[in-house]
Structure 1
Amino acid sequence: MTVNAENIIPTRTHVLIFPFPAQGHMIPLFDLTHRLAIRGGSALKITVLVTPKNLPFLSPLLSAGLNIEALTLPFPSHPSIPSGIENVQDLPPSGFPTMIHALGGLHAPLLSWITTHPSPPVAIVSDFFLGWTQHLGIPRVEFSPSAAVTCCILNTLWIEMPTIGGDDEILEFTKIPNSWRYSWSQISSIYLSYVDGDKAWEFIRDSFRDNAASWGLVVNSFADMESVYLAHLKKEMGHDRVWAVGPVLPVSQGDRGGRTSVSVDHMMSWLDARADNNVVYVCFGSQVLLTEEQTLALASALEKSGVHFVWAVKEPVERDSSRGNILDGFEDRVAGRGLVIRGWAPQVAVLQHRAVGAFLTHCGWNSVVEAVVAGVLMLTWPMRADQYTDATLVVDELKVGVRACEGPDTVPDPVELARVFVDSVPGKQTQRIRAMKLREAALDAIVNQERGSSVKDMDGFIEQIVSLGQKK
């Protein structure tokens, strides 16, 4: 049941939302904001903070007729970020730490806005890369666009500060349920790059530590998928203000998009002509760019396998770069059974199509959640940090996926990868049955208005926020 402000307080409770400017972070938080506005009804007034060049990403929400407004603050100048860049996608892969530090420059103007606003927000919901927002004089709710277990691992890393070992040395997280183990090469690159005494890195260290001290935590996950880790977070944070409100998905499949070489209608018609569970979907998210060798190996594997597939190819920004290009003549050789998309693909719609049976993924959390909701078998190829965590969760704990490859520099054996493709559609019945059961649990969590765990957590979150407004 939607919370009705008229039965609680006479005015709307003001909440500030602050996304981290990376596509994989903004999209789920904007989707959560949309759900929050709908579920909260007239109880909430929502302001979303963006910098000028990221305002277009917010446009669909602003035009949706909801209680959502934009707060646009100038992007802080930073010596390591060229003028005009305000999004991680426009930086090299190492740009995350730089962006985290640069955004800290918004502290003073944001604090000024809060303290002078005639009806200031009672709380801020901000991305887990923005821990410094803990120090704005209002309760801060951390938003995790990653798994609950990732939050557990990050909190442990930045609070306990284990000594960095060699790449092959194993780091064990014995306090976290199921005692997760990783080699140092698979640990957060931001943590590995931490340099004691460097003011920039000290800021990032303190920002991550602030996450564990946040007033609350919202996770894009659900109880049936990560109950033990959600319970661990509550124990470690010392309170019950941990809400699993996922899977957070767009209200409609038309909410998100981008440039693509193939029309959505053509893509759907192409899939309509394929048998159930017979297509492999290949996509590595918004940031991963395969090397030329990896691209050629993947193309060869798809060609050798004989499977039907849709491949979303991220092409290089520089025209003269060979990275990301596929074999000359490849599309001609796979004509009739392969569809290559250069640019954006409507991933939610593709995954939920009956013809798609397997998904070769880098295991970004958004992709994992979308695959879970679609009930699609995942073929995992993690590239960095939390993607290794997600792959372990998918393959070893949830058992809804199989390993296909691993590592940012690994070039797969085309013959072996082709075998993985062949075995996945429409095979792997055990994992496929588990994937469909997990799909049912995911949908029950967000759709069941009476018993859905994520519905209850969303309502509980809204009630706690509204209660903050009552105390003012």
Structure 2
Amino acid sequence: MSENHPHVLIFPYPAQGHMLPLLDFTHQLVSNGVAITILVTPKNLPILDPLLSRNPSIKTLVLPFPSHPSIPAGVENVKDLPANGFRSMMYNLGKLRDPILEWFRNHPSPPSAIISDMFWGLLTKSPPSSVFAGTYSPPPARWSYLLFIHFGVKCPKGKTPNDENEYFHFPNIPNSPKFPFWQLSPIYQSHVEGDPSSEFIRECYLANIASDGIDFNTFMELENVYLDHLMKDLGHNRVWSVGPVLPPGEDDVSGQSNRGGSSSVLASELLAWLDKCEDHSVVYICFGSQAVLTNKQMEELAIALDKSGVKFILSAKRATKGHASNDYGVIPSWFEEKVAGRGLVVRDWSPQVLILKHQAIGAFLTHCGWNSTLESLIAGVPMLTWPMGADQFANANLLVDEHEVAIRACEGAQTVPNSDELSKLLMEAVQGNKVEERRLRASEIRKVAINGIKEGGNSFKELAAFVKHLREEATKIQV
């Protein structure tokens, strides 16, 4: 591959919240003259269709999904995993190292670089050492710092075993965050020393630290203090903040409608309904691609929406194969008829980018996943936070306490909100002075984010610097 066209092998992780932002980043690389091959397992290949249709030059490396006794046959995506299947999934995917190495050996013109999702850190050791091996982190720099440094290197232990409310303090991270044990990543919570799956995951994070560079889907103005601190700890500046990485064709109604799956309502119908609503009068509610509310949570949310009288769009996921009982994802039978006219219920996938950008949206009740967070910020929409796991508690703190673009609504994957309190928050979200302050702050961050990805902006320059680095690395291999 020539100096102007480095060849990169991309390793996505088969969870929608990780895969889609890395594919969006892949589109950015292709647009900058980078040749791409994407590693994918057979059942996840359709997720690549939108990207491949826009970029027919992209190649795919399809490798069979390795078998594992704790993962049901045919399951290749995190959303369909049984409970507590995350560690098994990561450990299982590690079996792809040998097939990848074999592919490198036999390829007539192997890639000059690889970029792996942060959950596949060890796979960066598969190709020859001359190949640039980088990490792409869909979660923010603040959270990744916790995982890479504190889990990978230090792996702190609590003073009181089995105490879910014991606080873990991280004084060496800017702003000295602290979290109760139950809000830490499941990777912390489920780590067992000596267990092969646990140790594999820890080694992945150590590999991320040792990688040749890290790309973050964030921007300097949002996380500059954490990016600077991470570079100091890593001992180099090969850390690029290239976000917010937006989906290609973000204004394409048909393209965004099926971006992550099927929907019960057409995007055109949603937008037509929003067009009839006043500015900032609608609350959008969505909990991401994996979280499914329990029936009790859904009932209290439905009661709150009914009491509040606000206009809303509720994106409600159905229970998946990973939910063993019938206690998840059921909307109360009375709800839709009672709120008809002022609320819409969308089952499964919703075109979130298009919805958030509409001027009728006044607030976003969100689980605080990083993709949803960035999509809300780029739209200038203030948030009501209901974090449920992973990086979401840390993200909520960043949004509420540091940048003041959000208000706390609820916390926890099993916590059942009080419908009276939530109803009051929903009403204030479209008419209260407190939310107006958050909206103004969100509008300011929106301007910064948009300017950052324009030519001459910080994120634009970071992406250009990364592509330049890829070209330099490709040139070294050619020499």
Distance 1:338 1:59 in 2: 32
- The answer for the alignment partner of 1:187 in structure 2 is 184
- The answer for the alignment partner of 1:324 in structure 2 is 329
Which residue of 280, 305, 308 corresponds with 2:311?
A: 308
- The answer for the alignment partner of 2:473 in structure 1 is 468
What CA deviation, in whole Å up to 9, does each residue of 1:189-241 have, x standing for no partner?
11221111122221111112111111100000001100001111111111111
- Confirm or deny that 1:85 pairs with 2:75: yes
What CA deviation, in whole Å up to 9, does each residue of 1:383-405 have, x standing for no partner?
11310011000100011000000
- The answer for the alignment partner of 2:112 in structure 1 is 122
- The answer for the alignment partner of 2:38 in structure 1 is 48
Distance 1:364 1:93 in 2: 19
Distance 1:380 1:277 in 2: 18
Equivalent residues in 2 for 1:378-393, closer than 5 Å = 378-393=383-398
What runs of 5+ residues in structure 1 fail to find an aligned partner? none
Distance 1:79 1:308 in 2: 47
- The answer for the alignment partner of 1:404 in structure 2 is 409
Distance 2:83 2:54 in 1: 33
Distance 1:305 1:432 in 2: 20
Distance 1:426 1:69 in 2: 50
Amino acid at match of 2:351: P
- The answer for the alignment partner of 1:215 in structure 2 is 212
Residues 90 and 197 of structure 2 are in contact (CA less than 8 Å); yes or no, is this contact kept in structure 1?
no
Residues 192 and 198 of structure 2 are in contact (CA less than 8 Å); yes or no, is this contact kept in structure 1?
yes
- Confirm or deny that 1:161 pairs with 2:161: no
- The answer for the alignment partner of 2:226 in structure 1 is 229
Distance 2:262 2:90 in 1: 27
SS at match of 1:239: coil
Deviation at 1:95, TM superposition (A): 2.2
Amino acid at match of 2:156: P
Deviation at 1:291, TM superposition (A): 0.8
What CA deviation, in whole Å up to 9, does each residue of 1:96-152 have, x standing for no partner?
211110100000000111122111111110111001123122332111110110111
Distance 2:395 2:176 in 1: 15
Q: TM-score, normalised by structure 2?
A: 0.93
- Confirm or deny that 1:357 pairs with 2:357: no
Which residue of 198, 201, 205 corresponds with 2:202?
A: 205
Which residue of 102, 110, 132 corresponds with 1:139?
A: 132
Distance 1:429 1:30 in 2: 35
Residues 62 and 70 of structure 1 are in contact (CA less than 8 Å); yes or no, is this contact kept in structure 2?
no
53-62 vs 313-322, which moves further: 313-322
- The answer for the alignment partner of 1:287 in structure 2 is 290
Equivalent residues in 2 for 1:452-463, closer than 5 Å = 452-463=457-468
- Confirm or deny that 1:341 pairs with 2:335: no
Residues 116 and 124 of structure 2 are in contact (CA less than 8 Å); yes or no, is this contact kept in structure 1?
no
Residues 158 and 191 of structure 1 are in contact (CA less than 8 Å); yes or no, is this contact kept in structure 2?
no
Deviation at 1:320, TM superposition (A): 8.2
- Confirm or deny that 1:377 pairs with 2:382: yes
Residues 8 and 35 of structure 2 are in contact (CA less than 8 Å); yes or no, is this contact kept in structure 1?
yes
Distance 2:342 2:206 in 1: 49
- The answer for the alignment partner of 1:22 in structure 2 is 15
Which residue of 35, 59, 72 corresponds with 1:69?
A: 59
100-109 vs 316-325, which moves further: 316-325
Residues 24 and 248 of structure 2 are in contact (CA less than 8 Å); yes or no, is this contact kept in structure 1?
yes
- The answer for the alignment partner of 2:239 in structure 1 is 242
- The answer for the alignment partner of 1:149 in structure 2 is 142
- Confirm or deny that 1:419 pairs with 2:424: yes
- The answer for the alignment partner of 1:275 in structure 2 is 278
Distance 2:59 2:23 in 1: 12
Which residue of 260, 264, 268 corresponds with 1:265?
A: 268
Distance 1:142 1:413 in 2: 41
Deviation at 1:93, TM superposition (A): 4.6
Q: Percent identity?
A: 48
Distance 1:372 1:422 in 2: 21
Query: How has the CA–CA distance of structure 1 residues 459 and 59 changed in structure 2, closer, same or farther, with 3 Å as cutoff?
Result: same
Distance 1:65 1:157 in 2: 37
Deviation at 1:60, TM superposition (A): 1.8
SS at match of 1:130: helix
Distance 2:348 2:448 in 1: 32
What CA deviation, in whole Å up to 9, does each residue of 1:46-76 have, x standing for no partner?
1010011111111222222453111111111
Amino acid at match of 2:170: F
- The answer for the alignment partner of 1:35 in structure 2 is 28
- Confirm or deny that 1:445 pairs with 2:438: no
Query: How has the CA–CA distance of structure 1 residues 72 and 414 changed in structure 2, closer, same or farther, with 3 Å as cutoff?
Result: same
Q: How many residues align?
A: 460
What runs of 5+ residues in structure 2 fail to find an aligned partner? none
- The answer for the alignment partner of 2:101 in structure 1 is 111
Residues 146 and 219 of structure 1 are in contact (CA less than 8 Å); yes or no, is this contact kept in structure 2?
yes
Distance 2:475 2:13 in 1: 29
SS at match of 2:35: strand
Which residue of 89, 103, 117 corresponds with 1:99?
A: 89
Q: TM-score, normalised by structure 1?
A: 0.95
Amino acid at match of 1:48: I
Deviation at 1:263, TM superposition (A): 1.3
Deviation at 1:426, TM superposition (A): 3.5
Residues 377 and 401 of structure 1 are in contact (CA less than 8 Å); yes or no, is this contact kept in structure 2?
yes
SS at match of 1:178: coil
What CA deviation, in whole Å up to 9, does each residue of 1:241-268 have, x standing for no partner?
1001000111113251421111111111
Distance 2:139 2:431 in 1: 29
Deviation at 1:370, TM superposition (A): 0.4
- The answer for the alignment partner of 1:177 in structure 2 is 174
Deviation at 1:173, TM superposition (A): 0.8
